Amino acid sequence: MSFTLAIVGRPNVGKSTLFNRLVGRKLALVDDQPGVTRDLREGDAKLFDMRFTVIDTAGLEEVTDDSLQGRMRRLTERAVEMADACLFVIDGRVGVTPTDEVFADILRKKNARVFLAVNKAEGKAGDSGALEAYSLGLGEPIRISAEHGEGMDDLYRELKPLEGEFAEREAENAPLVDLDLSEEEAELDADETAHYPTAKKPLQIAVIGRPNAGKSTLINKILGYDRLLTGPEAGITRDAISVRADWQGTPIRIFDTAGMRKKARITEKLEKLSVSDGIRAVRFAEVVVVLLDVEIPFEVQDLRIADFAETEGRAVVVAVNKWDLEDEKQGKLAELKEMFDRLLPQLRGAPLVTVSAKTGRGLDRLHDAIRKAHDVWNRRIPTARLNTWLGAMTEAHPPPAPGGHRIKLRYMTQAKTRPPGFVIMCSRPDELADSYKRYLVNGLREHFDMPGTPIRLFFRSQSTKNPFKDQKFHTPSRLRKHMDGKAGISPKR
């Protein structure tokens, strides 16, 4: 990526629509009501042959106190200071407002490179707004339509000089790296570290839970700075925001998701979009951290969230937040473990970690639990060990015999990882009881040390018929004469 571009402007001028247009996907939530975007969302933008990083920001408002709007404004101003350039977007249908003039002065002081874009300027309806934009003193405005993709070539011409400038700067500051590895060594190293996180393929973590459980605060503490918007209000986070970082030597990409309430309580369209965005983040993740509130743990919604993560086949780590507020820690921990084993048997053995997002205590244990869960999620077991284990399990408890016919488990192998999936060849797989399947899954967890990770068992029937029974073979004439002579039959003359 050559440079970073921050898209700023008043609420509801089309910043998120433009962001989605540049990244080529509908990543940011878009709705008619103003103030949908609250956090900073980064994406890899592509504009013709140009590649850069684009940041979608919250709408700038004339609020400077500690309210939610004030915290959103400070977060946007920080993004303006960090970005290499800013694209100030105004609404061409509305024209220049007094608020636009105030923010234009702020942008001039905080960032040297500010480009002016007039959105919704398609047709004659945007002519007056484009002419008024000259009064802001930010140069010639770029007329665009983020919804219909108009004006992208003009935006490309304005941003193109930045690409060359920052590419030269990166080349000058790039470290010299000398690698002397043979192809065989490189392939061997790739095989051994196939599932280990790297800078190019970081460990993907999603933090999910009910509203106000402390998800954004926890991620900020992991990152070491206030990257995400936090506060006492429930439901602040709306978008599923992903942030890259290096956490105790582990390259990670961590997703902050919106709080998930009971489905019956979700009535607004925007909240439905937020929950859908969080579900999509879970499907992209490798490890899911289910964050609970120590004061009200394992509510019905918590159980549904944890079960959803297991159903999606993700490695699960359960974290109990606000542990610094608990006085009777030993008794509470024993109670939590008992509730966990009783209410979530499908996640038996999954890590249960107590943390404090406010003070940072327990984050080292959370890191270790996530790494272990990820390793187990990627584990592969040799076929020989699996079949030895299967023989011992069936000998200890033979499969049931429905209708007096014993079900035979003949062969077992691991078909996949992420999560671990196993195939067992057997007779009459449809008649095998679910209780015996659970017996095998629990045995796999215990014997091969795979606590918490989802395990998939697939049972397939294996035919015992002779495959050559109905086939006819052609015997060569020379061999047929030899066989006839052995049998004492004189060949025909």
Instruction: Detail the residues annotated as belonging to a binding site for GTP.
Output: 9-16, 56-60, 119-122, 209-216, 256-260, 321-324
Which residues pair with residue 243 across a beta bridge? 254
Residues 6+ apart with CB under 8 A from 28: 16, 19, 20, 37, 41, 56, 239
| 248 torsion bin: left (phi>0), alpha (psi -120 to 50), beta (else) | left
Sign of the alpha-carbon torsion through 432, 435, 437, 443: negative
Q: Which residues sit in the known binding site?
A: 9-16, 56-60, 119-122, 209-216, 256-260, 321-324
Nearest to 273 by CA among 19, 21, 26, 8: 26
The candidate with the shortest Cα–Cα distance to 312, out of 349, 281, 351, is: 281
Residue type, 373: A
How far is the CA of 10 from the CAs of 103, 104, 316, in angstroms? 9, 11, 40
Structure tokens at 224: 């070491």
Separation between Cα atoms, residue 220 and residue 261, nearest integer Å: 23
3-state SS assignment for residue 466: coil
Strand extents, DSSP E, 92-190 = 114-119, 142-143
118: Cβ–Cβ under 8 A, 6 or more apart, which residues?
A: 89, 90, 91, 92, 126, 129, 130, 133, 141, 142, 143, 144
Using N-to-C axis directions, what is the helix angle for 300-311 and 269-284, rounded to 10°?
A: 40
CA within 13 Å, CB half, 270: 16
Token readout for 68 is 């939610």
